[in-house]
Amino acid sequence: MKKIVILGAGRSSSSLIKYLLEEGKHSNWLITLADFDKAQAESKIIGYQNAVAVAFDIFNETQREALIREADLVISMLPAAFHIHVAKTCLDAYVHLFTASYVSTAIRELDEEAKRKELLFLNECGLDPGLDHMSAMQLIEQIRGKGGELRAFCSYTGGLVAPESDDNPWNYKFSWNPRNVVLAGQGVAKYLSEGYLKFIPYHKLFSRSQSVFVEGLGDFDAYPNRDSLAYREIYGLEKISTLLRGTLRRAGFCAAWDVFVQLGMTDDSFQMKKLAGLTWRQFTDSFLPKESGMSLEEKLANYLNIPLKGEIMSKLTWLGIFEDKALGVKEASPAQVLLKLLEEKWKLKADDKDMIVMQHQLDYELEGKIKRLTSSLVVKGEDPVQTAMAKTVGLPLGIAVKMFLQEKIKARGVQIPINKDFYDPILSELKDLGIAFNEKEEELKNQ
């Protein structure tokens, strides 16, 4: 019997849990689901004999050690900052570890010891990071295999709302950590364009979004992620001239979001005091210059040079930033005030479905011709529990765990799934589960 411990039974763990419970029925697995909220863990194993739910506090070291020592394999779905505590206990207890999070420096440093102890610490095996790596590497290898030379690699991912549940002018609802959405892009974005490094400061990021078309869904905006270059060496793309990774939003989102960036409403660096009693109208006005004889709406449109009667102003008006309604907070950063409003307006309702969209664009040269391979993925949520986000984060991890327990994975140490041994079987099973990319190839005019 194999003992699997899953740490964290939150929203994004649902599909992982269900997959392992189902697979565990005919394999000889005992699954322990551990969460700070025991009732939440219990609710996710109802009807399964091969699982137990336990209360778990990451800061209780004794409990953490006892739980991990019992296991053959631990899956950490906790916030990324906690993984290192789990990883160290796993090392001490000779237990394998799986996560869907980026490899931190601290985790990377455990590589040697993990290898020595013949343990696999697999990370970045969710959606983004995870599915993005695997699908990209498969395409890159496919092109290399036929002798093609890669010129450009652009890759975009977005967690969005499905068209059938899309009923607001922003065409957006939260399917992921709302705070991260509000703070997204702060810093400087770096990417490579035709051989040259490009830098975009935060205040230009959303006005410099690019258009991305996805068959069957239409147009999206894409803004570059903070560091598109991090995977240049890992993907083996040292010689590529264009390399960009970005985030997808529905067309028109970025121009409207840019208003908040320009105003300073996404700033999280200071606390505004004495907000009690202030209305949204007054709050919005505090980011605008004094101009006499203009309404707040005219002043904003004039300040940011946007049409008074246009899409952007409609989106802003719909959110309520021009309303005489109380903010309802006493002290908060501008970003926290905005977050509170958005959490209410962009909430996924009980019967709403979310959607994941991913697209890779690879330009390569083969036999004197330049070709573009476009590979797109669209995944929709089934219900509020089996969301597209939960499926795309959890299923790659679940499949990796199954393969490992079936002894099909030989790699040890700190790993990410960029080798064939990982991505071929994982992508193949995902396809069977309905998570399949749609490929298209066209010839580009020689440049």
- Which bin fits 185, alpha (ψ -120 to 50), beta or left (φ > 0)? left
101 or 209: CB nearest a copy of itself: 209
431: Cα separation from own chain's centroid:
20
**201's tokens:** 């400061």
Q: What is the DSSP string of 378-389?
A: EEE-SSSSS-HH
Residues 24-43 that bind a copy of itself (CB under 8 A): none
> From the list 65, 167, 194, 331, which residue makes contact with a copy of itself (rule: CB under 8 A)?
194
187 or 218: CB nearest a copy of itself: 187
When asked if residue 290 is in the footprint of a copy of itself (CB under 8 A), the reply is yes
When asked if residue 331 is in the footprint of a copy of itself (CB under 8 A), the reply is no
> From the list 39, 66, 197, 308, which residue makes contact with a copy of itself (rule: CB under 8 A)?
197
When asked if residue 286 is in the footprint of a copy of itself (CB under 8 A), the reply is yes
User: Are β-strands 2-7 and 29-35 bridged in parallel, bridged antiparallel, or unpaired?
Assistant: parallel
59 or 196: CB nearest a copy of itself: 196
> With the C-alpha atoms ordered 411, 416, 420, 423, is the resulting torsion angle positive or negative?
positive
- Through-space distance between the first and last CA atoms of the chain, rounded to whole angstroms: 59
Q: What letters, b where the CB count within 10 A reaches 16 and e where it falls short, cover 102-126? A: ebeeebeebeeebbebebbbbbbbb
147 or 201: CB nearest a copy of itself: 201
Helices 311-319, 334-345: axis angle to 10 degrees equals 90
What is the rounded distance in angstroms from the CA atom of residue 81 to the CA atom of residue 270? Answer: 23
188 or 366: CB nearest a copy of itself: 188
Residues 372-411 that bind a copy of itself (CB under 8 A): none
Size of the site for a copy of itself (CB under 8 A): 28
When asked if residue 285 is in the footprint of a copy of itself (CB under 8 A), the reply is yes
Give the nearest distance from C-beta 214 to a copy of itself in angstroms. 23
Burial of 324 (0-12, 13-18, 19+ CB in 10 A): exposed
When asked if residue 204 is in the footprint of a copy of itself (CB under 8 A), the reply is yes
**Stretches 75-83, 195-203, 249-257, 335-343: which one binds a copy of itself (CB under 8 A)?**
195-203
Interacting residues with a copy of itself (CB under 8 A): 187-188, 193-194, 196-201, 203-204, 208, 262-264, 267, 269-270, 272, 282, 285-290, 334
